[in-house]
Amino acid sequence: MKLLITGGGGFLGARLARTLLARGTLAGRAITRVVLTDIAPPPADLLADARVEARTGALLMHTEALRDEPFDGVFHLASAVSGECEADFDLGLRSNLDSTRALLDALRFNVNAGGAATRVVFSSSVAVFGPDPSVPLPAVVTDTTLPAPQTSYGTHKLICEHLVADYTRKGYIDGRAARLMTVTVRPGKPNGAASSFFSGIIREPLAGMEAVCPVDASVSHPVSSPTRTVDGLIAVFEASREAFNGRTAMNLPALNVRVSDMLDALAAVAGPAVRERVRFERDERIAAIVANWPGGASADRAARLGLAAHGGFAEIIRQYIDDCAAAPNAEQTLKGLSR
Amino acid sequence: MKLLITGGGGFLGARLARTLLARGTLAGRAITRVVLTDIAPPPADLLADARVEARTGALLMHTEALRDEPFDGVFHLASAVSGECEADFDLGLRSNLDSTRALLDALRFNVNAGGAATRVVFSSSVAVFGPDPSVPLPAVVTDTTLPAPQTSYGTHKLICEHLVADYTRKGYIDGRAARLMTVTVRPGKPNGAASSFFSGIIREPLAGMEAVCPVDASVSHPVSSPTRTVDGLIAVFEASREAFNGRTAMNLPALNVRVSDMLDALAAVAGPAVRERVRFERDERIAAIVANWPGGASADRAARLGLAAHGGFAEIIRQYIDDCAAAPNAEQTLKGLSR
């Protein structure tokens, strides 16, 4: 089968591609080709796989050609992130709304030309939720909590959820929207997103660096590991329509943790000296943004697909350490860890 | 003040224009100009008012020019209706999504050029609600019921609600989305919409004609009179942001009636002979569509703006009769009524 992963050069897209290529099959069929689109080329290990084809450039550059190119499955992960959308409103509309519309219309074009409806997993986000004076935000958002986005990014994700649902209703795609939780621990550098510290307060101390936590230790947030997030996307793809149960978006499993839980887990896994590299320095701008985010999420529909979050944050840290240890730059990324 | 009414040539848009012109003021300011855009020209009485300017053609033809033309207020009513959107998917996307985006971007352009944020009332619809396997539809939908549209029309309305909210959050407009209930009694001919019979079973018998009711008498539905609907749009425009309370969409008041209630009211107001002109002949296609609609709606936020539905359906029929009696073609429209 031939797959398309938009945003396939990014952290999550590349990880999804690796996982799929290692499995070799999806929904019982052999994966013969994986097309990765992204503004930057994918990592070298993916390019070295003969099944992989990279198409570099904004998604909108590629969608016209997709009209004549059938795919068996699409993972649509490409997106401008929240900080980018807040800074450049037009960029957000173009990258998140226009690109998704163009992608869905390309797939519709295929169906109108006699092709089968392509299965599409759209990566939505817990960012669709937020407090509005008319809609108090519950402590734990469920699959059926009323979304009230507080950012353009969350707005775009919600809009695309409904486009995916309507194109699915019409038979133009077989679409499923899954809401990703905040993925941690992300490798690499801080990325300027308000949620960046959820990875930074683990990643930096493990690398022997100091980290600043800009919010109170009591702040709670729904997070997920990269592995469980990728597993969730794949399970949503493989689910029958009956098992997916409807056309509305589904929350992926969340581990609802307080910052203090995360740091306790860091001390337990890596030792108190590592945890001591995190200091609290409140950033009012970030704290105000985070205050608009849900403190937790539940995922009843995903649970019925057999998906679950990690049992505790220590598992997530251990997974990150294992990932780093297997990578060539382990000396750097785990510099702070006495092993 | 200078106002724009999109869809200003339609039944509701023209009625809103008449009401505003008769009042002469809106939000305490004199109305000096009312621009009506629609694919068809507005009725002659509106064109005869020196304050009225008609711009005929699809809204998308006009939005580019709006970038350089400030308005003090916009009522955005223009929309392809549900039947049109189901028959022509591209038409629906263009008429409902692209047009709204272009309108909002024109207003944003004004703000970016130094203008004030224009107050915008967007007419959304009770059609945003529907049943999904994952979200059972409550008997009465509230302001905070999770929307799950079952038509492209409902999808587009919901998407535009969220665009309006986000452009408002950014300060590009001062937007308010109000969900209209099914407006009845509409004058004129059946319009092919699945909801058309909610007017037809009253309008046709009063004109001396037979009418067919395609659903069971027990079917319940949230309706509103044209007057109360227009009053609702005006009240939402005039509300302070604090009184509107948030950026999510607000239900306008509904009278939740069963078809049997409507026909009982018809017999009470116009006599049993008029009611006898309605016969039941189930149309499975229409019955299936209507089965996906909410049986009722509540409007707590609108109530706090002082808005209420009629006390009973008889009031709505009497309003329709009074409207017809005042119009030149009363001989035809009230032909079935012995007076």
Average pLDDT across chain A, whole number = 96
Per-residue pLDDT of chain B (339 residues; tens, 9 = 90+): 999 999 999 999 999 999 999 999 999 999 999 999 999 999 999 999 999 999 999 999 999 999 999 999 999 999 998 888 999 999 999 999 999 999 999 999 999 999 999 999 999 999 999 999 888 899 999 999 999 999 999 999 999 999 999 999 999 999 999 999 999 999 998 877 889 999 999 999 999 999 999 999 999 999 999 999 999 999 999 999 999 999 999 999 999 999 999 999 999 999 999 999 999 999 998 998 888 899 999 999 999 999 999 999 999 999 999 999 999 999 999 999 875
Q: What is the DSSP string of B197-237?
A: HHHHHHHHHHTT--EEE-S-TT-EEEEE-HHHHHHHHHHHH
Question: Could you tell me which chain B residue has the CA closest to the CA of A105?
Answer: B90
Using pLDDT thresholds of 50, 70 and 90, give the confidence band for residue A307: very high
CATH 3.40.50.720 fits A2-181+224-251, yes or no: yes
CATH code for the domain defined by B194-221+254-296+311-333 = 3.90.25.10
> How much is the pLDDT for A134?
87
Query: In chain A, which residues have their Cβ closer than 8 Å to the Cβ of B169?
Result: 150
Q: Looking at the predicted structure, is the pLDDT value of residue A267 above 90?
A: yes
Taking only the tens place, the pLDDT of each residue in A63-108 is 999 999 999 999 999 999 888 899 999 999 999 999 999 999 999 9
| Interchain CB contact of A132 with B (< 8 Å) | yes
The whole model's pTM is what? 0.97
- Whether residues B150 and A134 touch (CB distance < 8 A) is answered with no
Taking only the tens place, the pLDDT of each residue in A169-191 is 999 999 999 999 999 999 998 87
Q: Across residues A209-231, what is the average pLDDT?
A: 97
Measured distance CA(A310)–CA(A298) in Å, rounded = 13
Query: In chain A, which residues have their Cβ closer than 8 Å to the Cβ of B163?
Result: 155, 159
> How much is the pLDDT for B339?
56
Residue A135 per-residue DSSP state:
B
Using pLDDT thresholds of 50, 70 and 90, give the confidence band for residue A312: very high
The contacts of residue A331 (CB under 8 Å, 6+ apart) are: none
What CA–CA distances, in Å, run from B237 to B32, B179, B305?
17, 13, 11
Chosen from B134, B163, B168, B176 to mutate, greatest number of chain A CBs within 10 A:
B134
Taking only the tens place, the pLDDT of each residue in A14-49 is 999 999 999 999 999 999 999 999 999 999 999 999
The first and second tokens of residue A191, run together, are 């990325």
Hey, what amino acid is at A109? F
Query: In chain B, which residues have their Cβ closer than 8 Å to the Cβ of A158?
Result: 162
Kindly report the CATH class assigned to A194-221+255-296+311-333: alpha beta
Interface size, chain A vs chain B, as Cβ–Cβ contacts under 8 Å: 80
| Interchain CB contact of A318 with B (< 8 Å) | no
> Looking at the partner chain, which of A101, A132, A248 has a beta carbon nearest the beta carbon of B132?
A248
* Domain map (residue ranges) of chain A: 2-181+224-251, 194-221+255-296+311-333
Identify the weakest region by mean pLDDT among A264-273, A323-332, B11-20. Answer: A323-332
| Interchain CB contact of B124 with A (< 8 Å) | no
Q: Looking at the predicted structure, is the pLDDT value of residue A192 above 80?
A: no
> Looking at the partner chain, which of B133, B145, B245 has a beta carbon nearest the beta carbon of A246?
B133
- Whether residues A135 and B170 touch (CB distance < 8 A) is answered with no
**Strand, coil or helix: what is A3?**
strand
B2-181+225-251 has which fold? Rossmann fold (3.40.50)
Chosen from A162, A163, A304 to mutate, greatest number of chain B CBs within 10 A:
A162
> Looking at the partner chain, which of A108, A158, A165 has a beta carbon nearest the beta carbon of B162?
A158
Measured distance CA(A309)–CA(B123) in Å, rounded = 41
> How much is the pLDDT for A83?
86
Query: In chain A, which residues have their Cβ closer than 8 Å to the Cβ of B165?
Result: 148-149, 155
- Whether residues B166 and A145 touch (CB distance < 8 A) is answered with no
Largest CA distance in chain B: 62
> How much is the pLDDT for B285?
86
Query: In chain A, which residues have their Cβ closer than 8 Å to the Cβ of B152?
Result: 166, 170
> How much is the pLDDT for A219?
97
> How much is the pLDDT for B42?
96
Residues for chain B: how many in total? Answer: 339
- Whether residues B149 and A165 touch (CB distance < 8 A) is answered with yes
ipTM for the assembly: 0.96
> How much is the pLDDT for B135?
87
| Interchain CB contact of B163 with A (< 8 Å) | yes
Chain A: give the shortest CA distance to residue B89, in Å.
9
Query: In chain A, which residues have their Cβ closer than 8 Å to the Cβ of B166?
Result: 149, 152, 155
Query: In chain B, which residues have their Cβ closer than 8 Å to the Cβ of A109?
Result: none
Q: Which residues of A211-226 are buried (b: 16+ CB within 10 A; e: fewer)?
A: bbbbbeeebbbbbbbb
Chain A: give the shortest CA distance to residue B149, in Å.
8
CA atoms within 13 A on the CB side of A204: 19
Using pLDDT thresholds of 50, 70 and 90, give the confidence band for residue A280: very high
> How much is the pLDDT for B82?
86
> How much is the pLDDT for A136?
86
Residue with tokens 């939000």: B27
Q: Which residues of B68-92 are buried (b: 16+ CB within 10 A; e: fewer)?
A: eeebbbbbbbbbbbbbbbbeebeeb
Whose CA is closest to A181, among A152, A230, A223, A140?
Answer: A223
| Interchain CB contact of A144 with B (< 8 Å) | yes
Chain B: give the shortest CA distance to residue A247, in Å.
7
> How much is the pLDDT for B272?
97
Measured distance CA(A318)–CA(A335) in Å, rounded = 15
- Whether residues A133 and B246 touch (CB distance < 8 A) is answered with yes
> Looking at the partner chain, which of A133, A166, A246 has a beta carbon nearest the beta carbon of B132?
A246
- Percentage of chain A with pLDDT > 90? 92
